[in-house]
Amino acid sequence: MDTLRMALRAAIPLLTKVGMFELFPPEEWIQGDNEGRKLFDLNNLWRVLLELCNELITAFNAGCLLQKCQTLICAAANIDQMHFAVMGHCNPPMTKNSAGGLTKSAREPRGRNSQSIASSPSSVAAIESALPSQNTTLELPSASPGYLGSTSYSAILAEHRSDFSLNVDSSSMSTAATHSMEPERLQTGVRLLKLLHNLTICDMLIRRYYTRVLVAVIPEIVTMSIVRSARNILGALDFTGDVENQLQHTVRKVSQNTSRPLPNYRSMTVERYCASFTEQNLRWEAIGIIFATAGISLSSTPESDPDLNQVAADTSARERLRAQLVEASSTCLTFCDQASSVNELLGFCQYSSFVLLTHVYGDSSYQAWRRLRELSATIYAAGLHQESLMGDDCPFFLRQWRRLCFAAAFSADKNQATFVGRPPSINYRYSTLTPPLDISERTIVQGGDELVAAISRLDGFGWASKDEVDRASVLRLRFIFAVFRERALEIALGTSEHSDTVQKSNEIIKQAQESWVACPVRLRYDVPAEGTESEPPAKSFTLLHIHLDYLYTLFLLQRTVVKRTNTGHEALFDTSRKMLSNIIKGNVDSDPALDLSRHRAWIFLYYGLPSASVLILELLHQNQGIGTYTTALPRAEIIRNLSVFISCLSWVARPGHGNYHTCKEAERKLSHILDQVLDPQPIEDMALNDATSGLYSLLDWYHPSNPNNWDFNSEYLPLQD
């Protein structure tokens, strides 16, 4: 039995590494617990270990894992050999035996300032000479692989966990010692903390962000707790002593914290939850949230803002500040990558970073697309897509905030997939689609009788009977219609049989229309409430955005029907007219305290360009006698709105904005077509057929992800000087 205990102790690090520590904990066997022996006799135990090791050798054919697997296999065949192997030397994971060999710790950060090994000299000696010495390694990542579903390697043991009670004492995990960081990574962390210390403007930007927007996803109490905590830690530095050494110590501490899982238990309070990633528990995800949120707020801060002008007095200074915030938030995420600990806080950080990247590089940029894919991976790995997994162990407030994180990621995923015409990453068929409750953050944090009363006041559709429009209501509504959007994308982008396209499309349209009618009037842009003439532009703009999102789902389905059946043109044209007229109407509102130019550019490209394209090409076709609309279009109204829309494209995005070049290309394309509508020129039949081959292929030339695909050099659209 002593040898058996030794074998199981050797198996603990292996089981931990592959994520089976909690599902297959052998401590009771190690202690010789009678209950453990009842569950598994000696022969069955050897068989389980042998099968496990055979599977792991196939799946993890490298380094220490292979050695430990082989050691355990030897145990099944020869106890003495296993005894020798357990007492012998085992190299660190993914580390060569030879001194100076490449180690896992040799990986550079993936930030823009990091030096890529691929760009270094190709010889091994040259590579090794540029790397830190081998006595410095990265901090150990989290042992947990995250969420494991019902088909995972550990699913059977997990499903029958109640059949056996096996707990491993935390002392058995003491072998997971904290390793020192490589010097370059340590210095990168120090530079991040210095930047955060100097950029006190971030605090002001974040406070203003929460006072003027309705789409802030991260709970305000979470973000502000992080900001206060960071200032407390940096403010406690002794500037009369060795500041560099203090910062290095802080970087090591923050990195250690980031590698640990966040707590989750039923009785946890909001204060204890926030304390798990603030003050002495500060994490890189939290610091990344500061940088990313400040960057988002900077994008909507007017150039005339006096506080901003004290820090960045001109456009170039603001662009440098924005670049610093982008780089800093991305670098924080590289630290999180090394820690490999997935949680909702990381999801919030990645979501904020994604939004910031769209502001800087554009909504069709690969940088934004890649960040959103990383967010999708976190959603799945953290199990945020499965509501039932949170269960009774999760406090109510945290369950709601995790829903917020999932809802935000899910909605962004559908918007981005639609914009670039690619499949979404978060599939609704594999998710528990429970929207956040229509309850304010203040009430959720307050809890108690106030929360119980708020829940009791929800109607049958889950909406609260209140007058104000708050973030909870907006995020809930966006999520609900994101589900309809994904169903529309399945039809528009899918490759399945098209025989029932009309039936499926009509079914989704009907359900979406019913859901829109059922949502509260306070959230409907198309049903203005009394006194809304004086409401803040931020509120009206948010409601316009949601309304356009609803209409665009109908548009996508109607356009797909037209493309595949050459029927249903009238419904498509009517929806296009509504979208375009609402965009023109909504563009009138402005707020001197809020710069919405980047957001308006998104509205114009995402919703306006497709609807304008449908209408302008139909006018062109009617001029040429090939129109498909049985009833005459209101030509004057459409031309008037198209003219205003094209004019707005020329100024809505400014140089330096992510969508600037896409707006300029769209303006030029539509201007050429409108010229043809207003002043028709004789064209060759071949050129006509190539350029506008019918409404069923209407937007094949429209790929906002790559304006260069547009045929600007066709004979039918001569270039202007």
**CB neighbourhood size of 94 (10 A):** 13
Sign of CA dihedral 614, 619, 624, 629: positive
Q: What SS3 string covers 488-504? A: HHHHHHCCCCCCCHHHH
Three-state SS for 460?
coil
d(CA 185, CA 456): 51
Nearest residue to 292 (alpha-carbon basis) of 392, 216, 232: 216
What the block records as the tokens of 264 is 């989750």
Asked if pLDDT for residue 179 goes beyond 60, the answer is no
Tokens 């401590």, located at residue: 27
Q: Which amino acid is at 294?
A: A
Work out the pLDDT band at 357, boundaries 50, 70, 90. Answer: very high
pLDDT at 30 over 80: no
What does the pLDDT average to over 265-286?
Answer: 97
In this prediction, residue 468 carries a pLDDT of 87
- Using CA atoms, how far apart are residues 388 and 402, in angstroms rounded to an integer? 12
Residue 594, SS3 per DSSP: strand
Q: What are phi and psi of 530, to 5 degrees?
A: -65, 130
The single residue listed with the structure tokens 């059922």 is 518
Phi, psi of 594 (to 5 degrees): -140, 120
Lookup: tokens for 144: 């947990």
What secondary structure letter does DSSP report for 147? Answer: -
Whether the CA torsion 479, 484, 485, 490 is positive or negative: it is positive
User: What is the predicted pLDDT for the residue at 44?
Assistant: 52
pLDDT grade for 403, boundaries at 50, 70 and 90:
very high
Which contacts of 428-432 are long-range, i.e. CB under 8 A and separated by 24 or more positions?
A: 428/483, 428/486, 428/487, 430/385, 431/385, 431/386, 431/406, 432/385, 432/386, 432/387, 432/388
Tokens of 501: 């396209």
Least confident of 85-94, 278-287, 602-611: 85-94
Q: What is the 8-class DSSP label of residue 721? A: -
- Coil, helix or strand for 591? strand
pLDDT(670) > 50:
yes
Q: Could you tell me how far CA 347 lies from the centroid of its own chain?
A: 6
User: Coil, strand or helix: which one is 401?
Assistant: helix
d(CA 289, CA 222): 10
Are the C-beta atoms of residues 396 and 447 closer than 8 Å to each other? yes
Both structure tokens of 220: 């305000």
Residue 382 contacts residue 146 (beta carbons within 8 Å) = yes
Bridge partners of residue 591, in order along the sequence: 594
Least trusted range by pLDDT, from 230-234, 314-318, 707-711: 707-711
- Is the alpha carbon torsion for 400, 402, 405, 408 positive or negative? negative
Amino acid at 699: L
Give the model confidence (pLDDT) of 296-333 as tens digits: 999 999 988 999 999 998 989 999 999 999 999 999 99
CA 574 to chain centre: 34
Render pLDDT for 70-123 as a digit per residue (tens, 0 to 9): 444 444 444 343 333 333 333 333 343 333 332 333 333 334 343 332 333 333
Res 536: pLDDT: 82
Those residues whose C-beta lies under 8 Å from the C-beta of residue 231, and which sit 6 or more positions away, are 203
Task: Work out the mean pLDDT of the chain and round it to a whole number.
Answer: 78
Band (pLDDT 50/70/90 cuts) for residue 61 is very low
646 pLDDT exceeds 70?
yes
Q: Which residue has the higher pLDDT, 346 or 597?
A: 346
What share of the chain in percent tops pLDDT 90?
A: 55
pLDDT at 604 over 90: yes
Q: Where are the alpha helices (DSSP H) in 566-678?
A: 569-586, 597-603, 609-623, 635-649, 660-678
Q: What is the pLDDT of residue 591?
A: 76
Is the pLDDT at 720 greater than 60? The verdict is no
Confidence of residue 497 (pLDDT cuts 50, 70, 90): confident
For the segment 517-535, the average pLDDT, to the nearest whole number, is 82
Query: What are 594's strand-pairing partners?
Result: 591
User: CA–CA separation, 25 vs 109, rounded Å?
Assistant: 34
Report the pLDDT averaged over residues 534-548: 89
Q: Give the pLDDT confidence of 39-51 residue by residue, as tens digits.
A: 444 455 555 555 5
Take residue 159 and report the two structure tokens written for it: 């499903």
- Contact between residue 353 and residue 330 where contact means Cβ atoms under 8 Å apart: yes
Q: Are 704 and 609 in contact (CB under 8 A)?
A: yes
- Domains of the chain, by residue range, sit at 1-97, 185-434, 589-709
pLDDT of residue 154: 67
pLDDT recorded at residue 56: 53
Is the pLDDT confidence value at 131 over 60?
A: no
- What's the pLDDT band for 7 if we cut at 50, 70, 90? low
- 409-461 confidence digits (pLDDT tens): 999 999 999 999 999 999 999 999 899 999 999 999 999 999 999 999 999 88
Q: What is the mean predicted confidence (pLDDT) over 664-677?
A: 94
Q: Which of 558, 595, 523, 603 is nearest to 699 (CA)?
A: 558
Minimum mean pLDDT range among 298-307, 467-476, 522-531? 522-531
Distance CA 65, CA 56 (A): 8
Length of the chain, in residues = 721
> Do residues 583 and 612 touch, judged by C-beta distance below 8 A?
no
Q: What's the pLDDT band for 342 if we cut at 50, 70, 90?
A: very high
pLDDT average, residue stretch 347-360: 97
Distance between CA 276 and CA 407 in Å, rounded? 23
Q: Which residue from 583, 624, 618 is spatially nearest to 602, judged by alpha carbons?
A: 583
